[in-house]
Amino acid sequence: MTAINAVTDLSQDGEVAVLTLNSPPVNALSLTVREGLFEGFKQALASSAKAVVVICDGRTFIAGADVSNLADMLKDPSIEDIQKLMDGADRPVVAAIHGTALGGGLEIALCAHFRVAVPSARLGLPEVNLGLLPGAGGTQRLPRVLGPQKALEMITSGKPIRAAEALELGLVDELVAEDGLRAGALSFVRKALAGGRPLVRLRDRDDKVAPFRGKPELFETFRQATAKNFRGQVAPDWIVECVEAAVEKPFDEGLALEKQRFFQAAMSPQSAARRYYFFAERSAQKIPDVPAETAAREVKSVGVIGAGTMGGGIAMNFANIGVPVTIIEMKPEALEHGLSVIRGNYERSRGARPEETEKRMSLLKGSLDMADLKDCDLVIEAVFENLEVKKQVFQKLDQACKPGAILASNTSYLNLNEIAAATGRPQDVIGLHFFSPAQVMPLLEIVRGDKTSPEALATAVDLAKRIRKTIVISRVGPGFIANRVAMPRLTEINSFLLEGLPPARVDKVLYEFGFPMGPFAMLDLVGLDVIADPPGHQTIRGRMAEAGRRGQKGGGGFYDYDESRNPRPSPAADKIIEDFRIASGAAIKEVTDEEILERSLYLEVNEGAKVLEEGIAMRASDIDVALINGYGWPVDRGGPMYYADQIGLDKVVAKLKEFELKYGPQYKPAPRLERLAAEGKKLTGKS
């Protein structure tokens, strides 16, 4: 075995050279890795070896370029330099894939003549998630294996495919035993040598693209079908353009176009925001005083208290991963209703197969007796949002549950420490704040009480990953992170209405910024009757609810709705707004679209700064993760904290001060924001 460099070895197995990469955690294509691959291929091809296998140690094949340092891609040897060596090879080169071959990793594998994989491997080009397109030939080589339609789907969705599908599509040549990748790859290559199997250079293949040449309809149809989905994103359009070039143009011309578009995408603010988010999401799972090696308790069965919308949705998360759930209700009718709603949700879900529904439903057991929770490893309470009620439930749980069971509350607002104090085991009490609908929304706020133990936290984080939620850790405080930060913007809409701004105009401004919908449309969706007006403080939303306008679910809301729930302006709603405005004596104001946007967003930035100051959130980036996943903040903007940093905190503070004078004390800049602005620092980092 020869060490090529710190992360690459070259060894000889009979007549086959084996190039092994070992650069934890994911063998990303850093400069050192590229040097190792370049030098390794050079030496292997200069040796007497009759074939070369490239394989990785550790958890995965190459997972792509090093996203933490994209600029380093400009240094030589580039990925393309390695690929040229591979393309020029006069003997079989085989990529042996386990884990994930992603982005630049798959693009390297596409330059091998053959690919073998273990059944659990996944292959994909996820660059679009980072606001990028494949930058090392992916848009040119993948269509030459899969044809343009499938390549378009894979590259614009960014979703990896499983090895079995890759085999079916011809992207992988052979599947080998799960625990025998190296042996399988060697045996594959020996068969290829013995049989004189012709070498396949993908850049030369034409059979999958030729039938589509001169037929722009395929691409036009794809563009139209996906336009809404990719609203505001730059990369998907360029991906379609490049795949079209793969069909229409010689390989090198297509490659040149891809390179140009890749660099344009890499320079875009969108890609910077998405790369920031990639690492934000990962760091949000880390708790500095809970080391990664803290033992998580095993959770094999779960209890849920309450079979309402929330409890039912929470239970579905666990049934979906094969964990049995005991659902507790007080009355048989409520239990029956809750279970039938869950069944309905399963039956209506896309691609639902009856046997899947039955399998999941069989994991859900209803009961009216808390004693049935005695064997559960974790119980999540999702009852009415009232402190006294919750305290009573926790007292009973303390009696019913076995020692070491984790007792979780789904409270979205109440003081978890008080709930924990109702038990004799506050160290096992934690908040698991799901967002509605809990089976759909990606965010899970894990709330850490003053006495929550590191083991309980580690267990919650582990479990949240198993049910594939995006995690944010919050300390105890009213509204925790997402609801608290979003609330001032949603409260301010009352002022907008009093200033005479039509809901549709406000909604349009926020939709165009990138939110899936504006605040009025959102309230209509959630229901105008969900939150009560604070005592002594009437809102137009509250008035609407009183008048029977509860939103999409009944009577219309700020808009009227047809049977397909399409909104249209509502004269009845406008009259309620106008009457309220006149009665309150508020004067109509001239407000620009820019001001609507700034007021909406800076209120969130300001609240985020307070949440940081109070230590409710550990990091500014956690707030961004919470708002993106809990409130539809556009990931292309990076979240409110990152966005404010891009604008410049001095500018944000100046605007807040201006708004404070013009519109009221709700805009008073948070001390932390003022301080950071004065010091020329950022919310999300140094300066």
How far apart (Å, rounded) are the C-alpha atoms in residues 132 and 227?
Answer: 17
Is residue 479 classed as helix, strand or coil in its secondary structure?
coil
28 binds ligand T1G (CB under 6 A): yes
Q: Which of 51, 94, 118, 132 binds ligand T1G (CB under 6 A)?
A: 132
Could you give the CA distance from residue 604 to residue 666 in angstroms, rounded to a whole number? 11
Instruction: Please say which residue, 67 or 200, places its beta carbon nearer to ligand T1G.
Output: 67
> Among the options 35, 107, 381, 492, which is catalytic?
107
Q: How far apart are CA 259 and CA 242, in angstroms?
A: 10
Q: Does 109 bind ligand T1G (CB under 6 A)?
A: no
State the DSSP code for 466. Answer: H
Of 286 and 543, CB closest to ligand T1G: 286
Give the angle 543-546-548 at the CA atoms, nearest 5°: 115
Which of 67/256 has CB closer to ligand T1G?
A: 67
Question: Which residues in the 76-95 window bind ligand T1G by CB under 6 A?
Answer: 79
From the list 158, 159, 126, 155, the residue with the least C-alpha distance to 143 is 155
**Of the ranges 64-72, 309-317, 433-441, 596-604, which one interacts with ligand T1G (CB under 6 A)?**
64-72
Cα distances (angstroms) measured from residue 277 to each of 274, 442, 512: 5, 15, 21
- Side chain identity at 309, as an amino acid letter? T
Q: Residues 63, 101, 493, 504: which binds ligand T1G (CB under 6 A)? A: 63
Considering only the stretches 24-32, 395-403, 407-415, 638-646, report the one whose residues sit in contact with ligand T1G under the rule CB under 6 A: 24-32
- Residues 47, 17 contacting (CB under 8 angstroms): yes
Closest separation in Å from C-beta 274 to ligand T1G: 10
Report DSSP letters for 273-307, one per residue. HHHHHHHHHHHTT-BTTB-TTSPPPP---EEEE--
Do residues 458 and 296 lie in contact, with contact meaning Cβ atoms separated by under 8 Å?
A: yes
Q: Which one among 282, 468, 565, 662 touches ligand T1G, defined by CB under 6 A?
A: 282
Using the rule CB under 6 A, which residue among 10, 26, 457, 641 binds ligand T1G?
Answer: 26
Number of H helices, E strands in the chain: 27, 20
Stretch that binds ligand T1G, among 127-135, 200-208, 340-348, 645-653 (CB under 6 A): 127-135
- Stretch near ligand T1G under the rule CB under 6 A, chosen from 57-65, 218-226, 507-515, 554-562: 57-65
CA 530/CA 483 separation, integer angstroms: 14
Burial class (CB in 10 A: 0-12, 13-18, 19+), 125: buried
Among 40, 77, 134, 519, binds ligand T1G (CB under 6 A): 134
To ligand T1G, the closest distance from the beta carbon of 122 in angstroms equals: 8
For residue 302, the one-letter residue type is V
From candidates 35, 39, 66, 622, binder to ligand T1G by CB under 6 A: 66
Task: Please identify, using beta-carbon distances, which residue of 134 and 519 lies nearer to ligand T1G.
Answer: 134
Distance in angstroms (rounded) separating the CA atoms of residues 141 and 255: 9
Can you tell me which of 25, 195, 424, 571 binds ligand T1G, judged by CB under 6 A? Answer: 25
Q: Which is nearer to ligand T1G, 152 or 393 (CB)?
A: 152
Question: Which range in 3-11, 82-90, 130-138, 577-585 contacts ligand T1G by CB under 6 A?
Answer: 130-138
Give the active site residue among 35, 39, 127, 595.
127
Closest separation between CB of residue 297 and ligand T1G, Å?
A: 21
Question: 605, 620 in Cβ contact below 8 A?
Answer: no
When binding is defined by CB under 6 A, the residue of 56, 65, 457, 490 that contacts ligand T1G is: 65
Give the integer Cα–Cα distance in Å for 403 and 376.
Answer: 10
The window from 47-55, 132-140, 145-153, 424-432 that contacts ligand T1G (CB under 6 A) reads: 132-140
- Return the C-alpha torsion angle 233, 234, 236, 242, nearest 10: 180
Per CB under 6 A, 100 contacts ligand T1G: yes
Q: Which of 107, 173, 622, 624 binds ligand T1G (CB under 6 A)?
A: 107
Q: Which of 74, 66, 233 is nearest to 155 (CA)?
A: 233
Q: What's the distance, Cα to Cα, between the start and end of the chain in Å?
A: 46
Q: How far is the CB of 631 from ligand T1G (least distance, A)?
A: 23
| Single residue of 39, 127, 428, 492 touching ligand T1G by CB under 6 A | 127
Applying CB under 6 A, among 19, 112, 116, 130 the residue interacting with ligand T1G is 130
Gap between the Cα atoms of 47 and 148, Å rounded: 38
Number of residues this chain uses to bind ligand T1G (CB under 6 A): 26
Q: What is the nearest approach in angstroms of ligand T1G to the Cβ of residue 56?
A: 12
135 binds ligand T1G (CB under 6 A): yes
Instruction: Using the rule CB under 6 A, give the single segment among 59-67, 241-249, 312-320, 519-527 that binds ligand T1G.
Output: 59-67
In angstroms, give the least distance from the CB of 374 to ligand T1G: 34
**Alpha carbon distances (Å) from 19 to 37, 182, 443, 672:** 8, 11, 41, 52
* Closer to ligand T1G by Cβ: residue 466 or 553: 466
By C-alpha distance, which of 316, 304, 459, 317 is closest to 382? 304
CB of 148 to ligand T1G, least distance (A): 18
Q: Provide, rounded to whole angstroms, the least separation between the CB of residue 28 and ligand T1G.
A: 4
Is 107 catalytic? The answer is: yes
Measured distance CA(371)–CA(252) in Å, rounded:
70
> Scanning the structure block, which residue is given the tokens 């490239």?
54
Asked if residue 622 binds ligand T1G (CB under 6 A), the reply is: no
Burial 626-643 (b: 16+ CB within 10 A, else e): bbbbbbbbbbbbbbbbbb
Q: Using the rule CB under 6 A, which residue among 92, 104, 426, 639 binds ligand T1G?
A: 104
Looking at 66-74, 381-389, 473-481, 589-597, which segment touches ligand T1G (CB under 6 A)?
66-74
Between residues 155 and 522, which has the closer beta carbon with respect to ligand T1G?
155
For residues 339 and 342, give the distance between their C-alpha atoms in angstroms, rounded to a whole number.
5
Span 315-344, contacts to ligand T1G by CB under 6 A: none
Q: Residues 7, 18, 56, 64: which binds ligand T1G (CB under 6 A)?
A: 64
Using the rule CB under 6 A, is 126 a contact of ligand T1G?
yes
State how far the Cα of 239 lies from the Cα of 438, in Å rounded to an integer.
Answer: 33
Residues that bind ligand T1G (CB under 6 A): 25-26, 28, 60, 63-68, 79, 100, 102-104, 107, 126-127, 130, 132, 134-136, 138, 279, 282
Return the active site residues.
107, 127
